Chains A and B, each alone.
Chain A
Amino acid sequence: MKRDAAGRFQPDVRHDVDGNPLIERYRPNERSNHWVTSILFILLAVSGLAMFHPAMAWMAVFLGGGQWTRILHPFLGVAMFLSFAWLVVRFWHHNKFEKEDKQWLRQMGDVLNNREENLPKIGRYNAGQKLLFFALIVCMIGLLLTGIVIWREYFSAYFPIGLRRFSNLFHAFFAFVIIVSIIVHIYAGLWIKGSIGAMVRGTVTYGWARKHHPLWFEQVMQDEKRAGVKTQTAAEMHAAERKQDLL
């Protein structure tokens, strides 16, 4: 580990606790964009469920009570839409469907049973992730449009009652779909170890990348080759630095 000018040890950001070298998967702004979206989603899910089902009406307490829940929910919704839209702009080109995605989906049994070695090589995102991406886009747009129609404080009066009732029903439907989708998304993050780190720290190991997204791994390695980044474990890197120091 290097020492700074004052002699304090610098943490090593290019390796994990086991000394495995890391690849950057998400830059800081991408991670914050995601977390802003997520936090907003949690607040919206909590407030939305409170207004949807009496058994969860108690959850209004998290936003300050019934009136505040009703007031804040649509504002939060617009914020989440904008934050999510930005995520879409960032990740749009990574989520285009490729030919291996269909095959990957056909082998869902292998996916769910951790038999990844049987799966076709895929890139940065698997078909499941891409499906989530598009499902979220559809839901977000659906929620925004129906949400505006039922935003009683400012907009509902401009719409006919039939459209308002339809929007009440479909806002709930899109919310259901998005909540279930996010439950699956969160679960996947917990199940595929190392994924949380990608979005919290921004990095994944070479092993994680090669195992789950082999084509992306190869592409990153080509980039590292061009940039002259050597493949080193932490131990190897420290040894090289000591050697450098002694020289």
Chain B
Amino acid sequence: MALQSLDIKRMSATTVQPPVARSPVTGTVAKLIDVSKCIGCKACQTACMEWNDLRDDVGSNFGVYDNPIDLTPQSWTVMRFSEVEKDDGNLEWLIRKDGCMHCEDPGCLKACPAPGAIVQYTNGIVDFAQENCIGCGYCVSGCPFDVPRISKVDDRAYKCTLCSDRVAVGQEPACVKTCPTGAIVFGTKEDMKTHAAERIEDLKSRGFENAGLYDPLGVGGTHVMYVLHHADKPTLYHGLRANPKISPMVGLWKGAAKPLALAGMAAAAVAGWFHYSRVGPNQVTKVEEAEALDAARDIKGERKEDHHEA
């Protein structure tokens, strides 16, 4: 982890809240990806690999421009290409940079059972601390966007860190720095929303009536946001989820189920204690043993006298 302990807002698998005295006056950070400006050049993928010292395998072509074909432990961001034919016969090649959305209410953190393996900083970045990761894959269940990937080499989960190490020293993430069209920008979430509003106005003036900002409230908003030409149909962009939220099953499992189950188990044990101390043990008395012997002899047809001979 790059930041000091006071900059952590939430930690996975902990029962107490971290110290909250210090929180950024300028608010949280956000990365804004303007899909309307993206040309799918993959400079961001390359910069991410360079900055984070990642090298994926040289894969294959599966009939699409997406390379690699999916996020992996060594590819923390991938471009997803969708060809969409419009009613007027024109074609839109929608290219979306996929990766961690850095949710304000992170499902991965909620699901994670390993203390400190997933942290959320006060600036909004959700980071994996792989040294604490146990490789269980619960984060995959928790994530509404199918982002974390577990490495087969070291059994740890990996994803985009929003360059928390660069941000900690006042630099922009590597993908932001390298984007040649300025489709990816970075700053406070407030500033990014303001900038997005200007972009949306521009897009609307050019015929994209449904242009808008993708900052889904179902996960509390995200620190990676998209400006979309068609904000009313996010699924056009290679299946970007329209109303993402943490699955209610995960919400229950890592929510109410925890205290209820604990209480239930404790109650069972305590109930036993109180039953024992109220009702007492169930013992077989000497009289009951003797009665049993008599009954046995009866069943077997033995006479009592036979045994008094000794």
Contacts and interface: CB of A to CB of B under 8 A. Distances in A.
A and B, direct touch (CB closer than 8 Å): yes
Given A53-B262, A169-B249, A180-B268, A112 B292 contact: no
Interface stretch (B48-56, B79-87, B135-143, B166-174): B135-143
Interface in B272-310: 272, 275-276, 279-286, 288-293, 295-297, 299-302, 307, 309-310
Interface stretch (B61-69, B211-219, B253-261): B253-261
A210 interface: yes
Given A168-B141, A176-B264, A193-B284, A70 B300 contact: no
Contacts of B283: 193-194
Given A172-B257, A225-B299, A156 B140 contact: yes
Interface residues of B, number: 59
Contact of B135 (A70, A168, A172, A193): A70
B250 A165 contact: yes
B134 interface: yes
Interface of B: 13-15, 111, 113-115, 132-138, 140-141, 146, 150, 155, 247, 249-250, 252-253, 257-258, 261-262, 264-265, 268-269, 272, 275-276, 279-286, 288-293, 295-297, 299-302, 307, 309-310
Given A55-B262, A57-B13, 7 more contacts: A67-B134, A113-B279, A194-B283, A210-B288, A221-B299, A224-B300, A231-B296
A243 B310 contact: yes
Q: Give the dominant DSSP class at A's interface.
A: helix
A20 B299 contact: no
B280 A114 contact: yes
Q: Give the dominant DSSP class at B's interface.
A: helix
Interface in A17-69: 18, 20-21, 50-55, 57, 60, 66-67, 69
Q: How large is the interface on A (under 10, 10 to 19, 20 to 34, 35 or more residues)?
A: 35 or more
Interface of A: 18, 20-21, 50-55, 57, 60, 66-67, 69-71, 112-114, 116, 150, 152-153, 156, 161-162, 164-166, 168-169, 172-173, 176, 179-180, 183-184, 187, 190-194, 205-211, 217-218, 221-222, 224-225, 229-233, 235-236, 238-240, 242-243
A17 B24 CA distance: 73
B134 A69 contact: yes
Contact of B293 (A165, A193, A222, A233): A233
23 contacts: A54-B15, A54-B115, A57-B13, A57-B113, A66-B132, A67-B134, A70-B155, A152-B150, A153-B135, A161-B146, A168-B141, A168-B253, A176-B257, A187-B268, A191-B275, A191-B276, A207-B291, A208-B284, A210-B288, A224-B300, A230-B300, A230-B302, A231-B296
B272 A183 contact: yes
Contacts of B310: 235-236, 238-240, 242-243
Top 10 A-B pairs, shortest CB-CB distance: A239-B310, A152-B137, A66-B134, A207-B289, A187-B272, A206-B292, A221-B299, A207-B284, A225-B300, A54-B13
Contacts of B272: 183-184, 187, 190-191
A222 B299 CA distance: 7
Contacts of B292: 205-207, 209-211, 217
B257 A169 contact: yes
